Amino acid sequence: MKVVVNLKAYPCDPVEVATAARDVSEASGVPIAVAPQAAHLERVAETGVETWAQHVSPVEHGSHTGSTLAEAAAEAGATGTMLNHSERRLKLADIDAALSAAERVGLETCVCANNPDQIGAVAGLGPDAVAVEPPELIGTGTPVSKADPDVVTDAVEAAADADDSVAVYCGAGISTGEDLTAARELGAEGVLLASGVAKADDPTAALEDLIAPLE
C-alpha cells in the first residue's frame, strides 16, 4: 500500500511533515509520499522523502503565466504528481495533456476522480494510478470505504476494465489504520489523505497509526 499525503494549502510546517513521513517510511518500509505547495517542493525534497507535486499544468515551455510546469516541479525534486484533484479539476483533454507533461520528465502520476465511471475514463489515459475520491467526503473523517464501499470496488473494476496496469488508490476521509485496511480489503493499492496528517498535532504519531496494520 502506498500513502500519499496532500498538504493542500494548510498552515502546517511542510518540512516537519516531510521529515515525519521520511522517518516512518524508512522504519516501516511503507512507501509514503508528501505533496506540498509548489513553492515548498525543494524544501520537502531535501528531507529525502518521496516528493510529489499537487498538480502540474497541461503545458510546455512558453507563455503560460501562473502555470506549474512539469519541468520546474521535477527540477525542484518532485518525483510524482497528483492530477485532477476535486479542488483542482481539469477537462479530460487537459488531463491527457498534463499526463504527457508529467511523462516528459518522468513523474509518477495519480489522477483523481469522483466516481467509478470517471475512474474508467481517466484510467484509459494511462496514468500510473487513479484515486477515487467522492468530493462530499473530503475532509469529513468518514472514508469512502465505510460510507459507500461499492464505490471503491466498482472503481477497481472500472480501472481494470480500462487498463489493468493502473493502480487504484482510495481517498476522501482517510485518517486511521482501520481506514487503510478497509481500502486494501476493497482492492485499493494505496491511499490519499490530507487533514488526517497535515492538521495533526503530531504528524509522526498520525502516520504511525495509519500504517500500523501494514507492519
pLDDT tens for 113-135 read: 999 999 999 999 999 999 998 77
Is 119 domain-assigned? no
CATH (domain of 78): 3.20.20.70
Is 115 domain-assigned? no
pLDDT for res 138: 63
pLDDT tens for 49-93 read: 999 999 999 999 999 999 999 999 999 999 999 999 999 999 999
Catalytic member of 133, 185, 208, 215: 133
Whether residue 180 is annotated as binding a ligand: the answer is no
Is 118 domain-assigned? no
Is 209 domain-assigned? yes
Is 67 domain-assigned? yes
Whether residue 148 is predicted with pLDDT greater than 90 in this model: the reply is: no
Contacts of 36 (CB under 8 A, 6+ apart): 7, 14, 17, 18, 43, 44, 51, 54
Is 114 domain-assigned? no
Is 66 domain-assigned? yes
| Chain mean pLDDT for the chain | 94
pTM score: 0.94
Instruction: Tell me, yes or no, if 85 is annotated catalytic.
Output: yes
Is 190 domain-assigned? yes
Whether residue 139 is predicted with pLDDT greater than 70 in this model: the reply is: no
| Residue 115 · residue 168 · CB < 8 Å | no
Query: How many domains does one find in the chain?
Result: 1
pLDDT for res 172: 78
Domain housing 190: 2-108+124-135+165-214
Whether residue 92 is annotated as binding a ligand: the answer is no
Provide the percentage of residues in the chain whose pLDDT is more than 70. Answer: 96
Closest CA to 124 of 91, 158, 157, 94: 158
Instruction: Tell me, yes or no, if 133 is annotated catalytic.
Output: yes
